[in-house]
């Protein structure tokens, strides 16, 4: 399941936690930090490089998830990665042989401008995608 700390991702966490508990399964909670591509002017403006935005460390993510109180009844692991959210969620779900990907609906202006993660996942799904409003 994708997690950003937003209200919709909190609802998605509650849903995924309940789903895992009922199935007697574990939960992989993924937080992806986006890397903005930019032109590398030192190389003549041809190559693209990625700029890391400030992000939470994996320890901060684990602490924040533990404080939610929603993960007390299921085994879980937190994964913090960088890149494109859709690609990273698909890759991590493949690595962990996930039954489904659960994400919260995106409501931010950035999501509207650059396409919502849930919509992008649902266009060509490799496994079930559940989008929580």
Residues sharing a CB contact under 8 Å with residue 71, sequence separation 6 or more, in sequence order: 13, 17, 27, 29, 65
**Is the pLDDT assigned to residue 8 strictly greater than 70?**
yes
**Quick one: average pLDDT of 82-88?**
86
Sign of CA dihedral 67, 63, 76, 115: positive
Residue 36: its pLDDT value, please?
Answer: 57
Kindly report the backbone phi and psi dihedral angles of residue 62, in degrees, each rounded to the nearest multiple of 5, phi listed first. Answer: -60, -45
Give the predicted TM-score (pTM) of the model: 0.74
> pLDDT tens across 50-75, in order?
444 344 556 677 787 778 777 888 99
**Quick one: average pLDDT of 88-116?**
77
CA distance 10 to 25: 19
């Amino acid at each position: 399941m994708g997690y950003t700390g937003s209200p919709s991702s909190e609802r998605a966490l509650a849903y995924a936690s309940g789903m895992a508990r009922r199935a007697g399964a574990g939960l992989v909670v993924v937080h992806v930090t986006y890397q903005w591509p930019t032109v590398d002017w030192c190389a003549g403006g041809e190559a693209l490089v990625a700029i890391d935005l400030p992000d939470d460390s994996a320890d901060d993510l684990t602490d924040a998830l533990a404080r939610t109180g929603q993960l007390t009844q299921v085994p879980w692991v937190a994964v913090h990665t960088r890149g494109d959210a859709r690609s990273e969620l698909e890759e991590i779900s493949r690595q962990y042989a996930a039954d489904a990907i659960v994400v919260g609906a995106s409501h931010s202006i950035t999501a509207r401008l650059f396409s919502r993660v849930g919509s992008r996942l649902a266009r060509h799904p490799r496994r079930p995608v559940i989008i929580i409003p």
